Structure 1
Amino acid sequence: MAKTTDPASTPAGAMHSWCDWHEGPSGTAVLVQAIEQGSGPGVNRFACAPCREQRNLVPFSEQQP
């Protein structure tokens, strides 16, 4: 039996994440902000391609440390 979490067995376009800017599902959302907090869990914010373009958001993996 195939694993349901195996990306190779998942149909194209079936994996979606959440865009925190337009507050809806997206197939192109990537991490753009990782907000650390002194106490408690931090917050990760994701943005889809159209929201990144409109708001000049840079993916976290492309940001300078």
Structure 2
Amino acid sequence: MTHSAKCPICGQPSATAYRPFCSRRCADVDLGRWFGGTYRIPGEQLPDAESEKAEINDKT
């Protein structure tokens, strides 16, 4: 008995060509989530660019 891996997006059996996904669509959905910032690693918040510019201008 073999257990096929399931697509992390839709739960269908994964396809070898798109592993671990079942299709190009699900692979693209996952990529879009990465680009959109849905997947994040918790950490210390970085200062935004405008506050960094203000600090630089204050020092000069």
Pick the structure with more helix per residue.
2
TM-score normalised by L of structure 2: 0.29
Higher radius of gyration, 1 or 2 = 2
* Structure with more strand by fraction: 1
Considering Cα pairs closer than 8 Å and 6+ residues apart, tell me whether 1 or 2 has the greater RCO: 1
Question: Normalized against structure 1, the TM-score is what?
Answer: 0.27
